[in-house]
Amino acid sequence: MQHVLDRFTLRSSLLLDAAVSGVTGLLLLAGAGPLHRSLDLPTVFLRVSGAILVPFVIVLIVLGAQDHPARSEIRSMIALNLLWTAGSFIVLLSGQIEPNRPQRDIRHLSGGRRRSLCGAAIRGTRSA
């Protein structure tokens, strides 16, 4: 019984990772223009990031469809996830790419008002 549960959990994890990575990849590829304006990140950077996710998602789907994926393949996918995460932090901390500040994004979302949505919530007033 435990073996079946482990297989189900592994399969679910792989397919969930594929779904989230796939949505992220498609959003980065198709929405690079609007995301560029909102996040102040280069459009090319966003599109390349999305394109990198496409083969990753395909491999995740293939592995998730297998009854008994090889341990080495699973370890490789875990390693790639860790590398992606580490790479994200390295790019952010390197200063090569500087996304916008949250305060600027909040003003953008609230129609350019000076008052932040967080500040309005703390004061108990409604941001109209």
pLDDT in tens, 3-57: 555 656 888 999 999 999 999 999 999 999 999 888 888 999 999 999 999 999 9
Q: Are 106 and 87 found together in one domain?
A: no
Per the structure, the complete domain to which residue 117 belongs is given by 100-128
What pLDDT shows up at residue 44? 94
Q: Are 59 and 74 found together in one domain?
A: yes
Domain count, the chain: 2
Q: Are 49 and 84 found together in one domain?
A: yes
Q: What is the pTM of this model?
A: 0.69
Q: Are 55 and 105 found together in one domain?
A: no
Dihedral (Cα; 105, 34, 91, 48), 10-degree rounding: 170
> What is the chain's Cα-based Rg?
20
Q: Are 62 and 105 found together in one domain?
A: no
Q: Are 90 and 127 found together in one domain?
A: no
Q: Are 62 and 82 found together in one domain?
A: yes
Nearest to 52 by CA among 74, 71, 80: 80
Q: Are 91 and 104 found together in one domain?
A: no
Q: Please count the helices (runs of H) and the strands (runs of E) in the chain.
A: 6, 0
Q: Are 20 and 34 found together in one domain?
A: yes
Q: Are 42 and 65 found together in one domain?
A: yes
